[in-house]
Every structure is written in structure tokens, then in C-alpha cells.
């Protein structure tokens, strides 16, 4: 049809191939009739996974370690939203909804992530205040020193302190991040002279991991998808996004 001169793009006849168009912005006509952009019937897929330890939260690992996409079988190509290091457990969202993935990982949108953290040693009230105020961390990839950035927790809550006879003291914290540097929780705790023993992500925006066993996954319910998109500043599924949201 293009070679026969039957196709116009933005009012101009196109006779050569390939002919590139943006279906959302360019006007395409065939035999004088304007074509409407095709809306895909492909509905995005949303999966909640409770990641076990020693599993990598990427789609591929050069070292051959097991990764999160191997734990989920949907027949779809899904991508993890954000990362948990190999030693951490908890909530990982996998989806093919690119707009939502971008909003949930970009610090501009400040979607809260909550972690339960078990720390070796006694974290004092003064330590908690330091974590809230923030400490400077050297940027990753700067072996000789280099760029430093202040890193802090949006919120820190002391859950408990334990000190049993004959055992080292432990402290449990609930930590909220709205933006994060690489391994930020572990590195900030280390700055105070302590070591993170266990780290579990328990929520992402309105999404909760409660009730899902470690290593198991499930599809998100429609209400959860709507709430998650709303928290990220996106309309519910199926409703067009306004230009001001871009």
C-alpha cells in the first residue's frame, strides 16, 4: 500500500520503506481514511514474591546464581522492581508494567518501602537519632574515596532490644526508605559499629508481604494494583493517563 502511494503520514504521501511513525502522535491515513491507534488487549501482569535468601533480584546473574524470575512461572517476561541483595528477604514486585516500575523506583515519586531489620548489638536512642538525621556514605564505584552523599532513613522505629544471658545483644528496627543508595541500610548500620543480621522488606507503598510464605508468589488482586498505581501517581488500569502526569 505504501509503494502504491495509498498511505499518508501527517498529510504527506509516503512511498519509501521503512516508514517510521509514532502511533500516539502521527496521523496515518490509508485511502483517505485516518487510522486510529490500536489499543493492545495485553493486560499487564503483577506478581508479588517473598524472596528467599541467596536468590538474586535481577533477571540474570553472570555467576550463575538463582534469580527471582526463576521462582515465578506465569508464561510472561516479567522484571523485578527495585532490588534486594542476596542476603535479604521479603517483598519483590515483578511486572511488565514499565510506567509503574519507573515510578516505584524513581526517588522523585517517594514511594515508601518498609524493612524489618535485626541488628547485632544494642542500638541506642542516640543511634536512632543519627540514622534519622543521616550519615555520609561514600559513593559506590569510588575506590579511592570520591563522592559522598548524605543518606538517611525517612523513619526509624525501635521494635525491641534483646539481651539474653550468655548471648550477644540484638536490636530490631522498622526502617522506612523513600529513596536509597546501594545497600544503604547495611552501610548506615555499619557506620554505627553494628552489623545487620537479617533484613526483610515487608511493604512497598500500600503492598504488604504479610501472609505469603518465603519462596512463594501470587498475582496481585485488582484492588492492590489500583492502590499501588495510585500511590505512584498513576491512574487505575484501563484509564488513560493525563498529559500532566508525564
Q: Tell me the catalytic residues.
A: 85
In whole angstroms, what separates CA 225 from the centre of its chain?
A: 14
Angle between helices 98-105 and 222-231 (to 10 degrees): 50
The residues near 198 (Cβ < 8 Å, ≥ 6 apart) are: 89, 116, 117, 118
Q: What SS3 class is residue 190?
A: helix
Judge contact between 73 and 86, C-beta under 8 A: no
Cell of 140: 559506590
CA distances (Å), origin 189, targets 7, 25, 54, 160? 63, 50, 21, 16
Judge contact between 185 and 113, C-beta under 8 A: no
Helix H or strand E encompassing 105: helix 98-105
Cell of 106: 524513581
Cell of 240: 488513560
Cell of 237: 488500569
Query: Which DSSP state fits 67?
Result: B
The residues near 173 (Cβ < 8 Å, ≥ 6 apart) are: 116, 117, 119, 123, 128, 156, 157, 158, 159
Amino acid at each position: 500500500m505504501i509503494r502504491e502511494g495509498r498511505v499518508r503520514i501527517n498529510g504527506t504521501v509516503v512511498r519509501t520503506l521503512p516508514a517510521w511513525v509514532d502511533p500516539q502522535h502521527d496521523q496515518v491515513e490509508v485511502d483517505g481514511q485516518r487510522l486510529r491507534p490500536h489499543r493492545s488487549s495485553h493486560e499487564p501482569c503483577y506478581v508479588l514474591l517473598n524472596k528467599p535468601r541467596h536468590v538474586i533480584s535481577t533477571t540474570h546473574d553472570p555467576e550463575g546464581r538463582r534469580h527471582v524470575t526463576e521462582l515465578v512461572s506465569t508464561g510472561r517476561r516479567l522484571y523485578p522492581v527495585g532490588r534486594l541483595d542476596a542476603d535479604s528477604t521479603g517483598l519483590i514486585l515483578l511486572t511488565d508494567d514499565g510506567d509503574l516500575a519507573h515510578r516505584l523506583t524513581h526517588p522523585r515519586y517517594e514511594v515508601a518501602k518498609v524493612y524489618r531489620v535485626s541488628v547485632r548489638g544494642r542500638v541506642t536512642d542516640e543511634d536512632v537519632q543519627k540514622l534519622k538525621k543521616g550519615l555520609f556514605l561514600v559513593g559506590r564505584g569510588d575506590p579511592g574515596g570520591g563522592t559522598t552523599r548524605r543518606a538517611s532513613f525517612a523513619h526509624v522505629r525501635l521494635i525491641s532490644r534483646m539481651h539474653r544471658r550468655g548471648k550477644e545483644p540484638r536490636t530490631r528496627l522498622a526502617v522506612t526508605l523513600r529513596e536509597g543508595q546501594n545497600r544503604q541500610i547495611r552501610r548506615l548500620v555499619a557506620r554505627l559499629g553494628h552489623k545487620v543480621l537479617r533484613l526483610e522488606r515487608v511493604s512497598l507503598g500500600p503492598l504488604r508481604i504479610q501472609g505469603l510464605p518465603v519462596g512463594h508468589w501470587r498475582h496481585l488482586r485488582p484492588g492492590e494494583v489500583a492502590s499501588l498505581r495510585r500511590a505512584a501517581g498513576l491512574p487505575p488500569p484501563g484509564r488513560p493517563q493525563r498529559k500532566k502526569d508525564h
